[in-house]
């Protein structure tokens, strides 16, 4: 059973709810209505042999509507579907940022959905324990949304508990000084430079 066959099976099982499959560099993707995601995941697992959930991620199309997209990566391990990959996508609106959880179908979806909830602010109906997984409980923002500033936001927490001011946008601790020219492609780097010192508090 190939990814194309699985898409055709989804289209037959959920008429009018599944879009046309698209292929790019050997990977197949199909978009479907968000209300069938749990049933579609169960169909892929039980009927089509896509028995491994690789990942769940999300995209913010800030300025467009539907604003969000949830992306599911499935793979078949063993049997006729071994190493077959299939990607499902569902659109989620800014006004109703909710999609059904698939934890009841794939237990591995648990932490993936929690991360999407934490970072993007999308809610998963039916998740058994939907709480933050990276940020602390009570944190009022979702850092992967495109309207969240790269330097972060200020917080009232004391310094030991979190950043008290936005972090400087210096590109990380190992950025070369502006006057240093990087070597050309293929040219050996013959000198080393100390990383920038951390800004004083």
Is position 137 within any domain?
Answer: no
What pLDDT shows up at residue 1? 67
Is position 85 within any domain?
Answer: yes
What pLDDT shows up at residue 39? 98
Is position 77 within any domain?
Answer: yes
Question: The CATH number of the domain where 36 resides is what?
Answer: 3.30.460.80
- Between CA 111 and CA 130 the distance in angstroms is 9
Identify the domain containing residue 87 by its residue range: 3-95
Is position 59 within any domain?
Answer: yes
pTM of the model: 0.79
Is position 68 within any domain?
Answer: yes
What pLDDT shows up at residue 138? 84
- Asked if residue 118 lies in contact with residue 134, where contact means CB atoms within 8 angstroms, the answer is yes
Is position 74 within any domain?
Answer: yes
Q: Could you give the 3-state DSSP secondary structure of residue 100?
A: strand
DSSP 56-87: EEEEE-TTSSS-EEEEEEEE--SGGGTT-EEE
Angle between the 3-13 and 37-47 helix axes, to the nearest 10 degrees? 130
Mean pLDDT by 10 residues, the chain (201 residues): 92 98 94 98 96 97 97 90 91 98 98 98 98 90 91 69 63 53 53 50 50
What pLDDT shows up at residue 82? 81
What pLDDT shows up at residue 200? 54
Number of structural domains (the chain) is 1
Is position 168 within any domain?
Answer: no
What pLDDT shows up at residue 162? 57
């Amino acid at each position: 059973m190939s990814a194309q066959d699985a898409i055709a099976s989804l289209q037959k099982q959920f008429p009018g709810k599944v879009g046309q499959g698209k292929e790019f560099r050997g990977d197949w993707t199909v978009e479907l209505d968000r209300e069938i995601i749990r049933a579609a995941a169960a169909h892929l697992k039980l009927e089509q042999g896509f028995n491994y959930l690789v990942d769940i991620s999300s995209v913010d199309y800030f300025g467009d509507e539907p604003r969000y997209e949830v992306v599911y990566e499935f793979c078949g391990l063993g049997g006729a579907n071994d190493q077959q990959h299939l990607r499902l996508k569902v659109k989620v609106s800014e006004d109703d940022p909710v999609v059904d959880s698939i934890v009841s179908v794939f237990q591995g979806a648990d932490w993936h959905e929690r991360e999407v909830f934490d970072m993007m602010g999308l809610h998963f109906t039916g998740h058994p324990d939907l709480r933050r997984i990276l940020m602390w409980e009570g944190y009022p923002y979702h850092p992967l949304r495109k309207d969240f500033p790269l330097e972060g936001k200020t917080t009232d927490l004391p310094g030991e508990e979190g950043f008290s001011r936005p972090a400087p946008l210096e590109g990380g601790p190992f950025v070369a000084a502006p006057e240093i020219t990087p070597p050309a492609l293929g040219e050996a780097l013959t000198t080393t430079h100390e990383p920038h010192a951390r800004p004083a508090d």
